[in-house]
Amino acid sequence: MAIDSAGARKKIEAITDLPTLPTVASKIVEIANSPKTSATDVGGLINQDQALTGKVLKLVISSFYGFPHQIKTINHAIVILGFNKVKNIVLTASVFELTKGQDSKRLDIRKFWEHSLGCAIASQIVAKHLGRGLQPDDAFVGGRLHDFGKVIFDQFLPEEYAPVIEYRNVNNTLLRKAEKEVLGFDHTQVGTWLAEKWKLPGGLVTAIRYHHLPQSAREEREMAAAVHIGDILTRAIGVGNGGDFSIPAITEPVLKQYKMDFEFLQNSITTLAEELRKASVFFELIEN
């Protein structure tokens, strides 16, 4: 019952209730790259949404970000943290909002979001090592969104996705392989379509598209590499579950290109475990 990729794209694009980024987040993404954008513009936008403002401030003063409790306004947060960090916190908080209350017979949603959060934190840790212009904050959001295509499959194409899960179970294979075998395309493609629809920055599109094949990324390859490794480190530490029963290997050329040895990977796992202990605020956002 394979449906071709173009047909599937049409079907997905025809779904009128596909998630849309909340207005504030999408406006912030839109103005993010304009040199004319000021901190006041961004602060004004976030302040329009009271619930979002509350969540952003809650994240800012959480032990994960570790900023002092004196930060009580968005404008103050932008001055202290900088625009890029605040933009990424807004995106993170908005995505939690989008996916709240989802249920599924095919994926364990709670474990899925734990996997995404673990990957976000791990990608940020790896990005610090990679450098080369990659902002660790951006890698965090890339990790957070990397498997979003699976949510689209699960929530909007449940009839098509059920046989994929069945194929994975029967053949004991990775979910991505099952998607390709049964449907002819996978969650990286579906996630990319959505990211383009949302007009997300190129680095985030790359994270979603190439997190399994970072060496194929022509631009922003560091982002793809950070999320690729972040994804696998998260599986290695056993945080959540993205829908696989086994752990694929890290792509060898990536390890070589960025000079990552066993010691680096081990240290990253230790740091990831420490950071996860401070990340309870995100779980509160999933639940409330």
Q: What are the DSSP calls for the chain, one per residue?
A: ----HHHHHHHHHH-TT-----HHHHHHHHHTT-TT--HHHHHHHHHT-HHHHHHHHHHHTSTTT---TT--SHHHHHHHH-HHHHHHHHHHHHHHHHTTT---SSS-HHHHHHHHHHHHHHHHHHHHHH-TT--HHHHHHHHHHTTHHHHHHHHH-HHHHHHHHHHHHHHT--HHHHHHHHHSS-HHHHHHHHHHHTT--HHHHHHHHHSS-GGG-SS-HHHHHHHHHHHHHHHHHT-S-SS-SS-PPPPHHHHHHTT--HHHHHHHHHHHHHHHHTTHHHHHHHH-
Which residue, 55 or 144, is less far from Fe ion as judged by CB?
A: 144
CB of 57 to Fe ion, least distance (A): 29
CB of 122 to Fe ion, least distance (A): 10
Count CB-CB contacts under 10 A for residue 84. Answer: 13
CB of 85 to Fe ion, least distance (A): 24
CB of 183 to Fe ion, least distance (A): 15
Which residue, 81 or 164, is less far from Fe ion as judged by CB?
A: 164
Extract the tokens encoding 61. 């003063």
In the shown chain, the binding pattern of residues 135 to 154 toward Fe ion, with x for contact by CB under 5 A and - for none, equals ------------x-------
Which residue, 41 or 244, is less far from Fe ion as judged by CB?
A: 244
Q: By CB under 5 A, is residue 231 in contact with Fe ion?
A: yes
Which residue, 43 or 242, is less far from Fe ion as judged by CB?
A: 242
Which residues within the stretch 238-267 sit at the binding site for Fe ion (CB under 5 A)?
242
CB of 70 to Fe ion, least distance (A): 37
In the shown chain, the binding pattern of residues 176 to 215 toward Fe ion, with x for contact by CB under 5 A and - for none, equals ----------------------------------------
CB of 258 to Fe ion, least distance (A): 19
Which residue, 67 or 112, is less far from Fe ion as judged by CB?
A: 112
Looking at 8-16, 120-128, 237-245, 260-268, which segment touches Fe ion (CB under 5 A)? Answer: 237-245
Which residue, 49 or 147, is less far from Fe ion as judged by CB?
A: 147
Footprint of Fe ion (CB under 5 A): 147, 231, 242
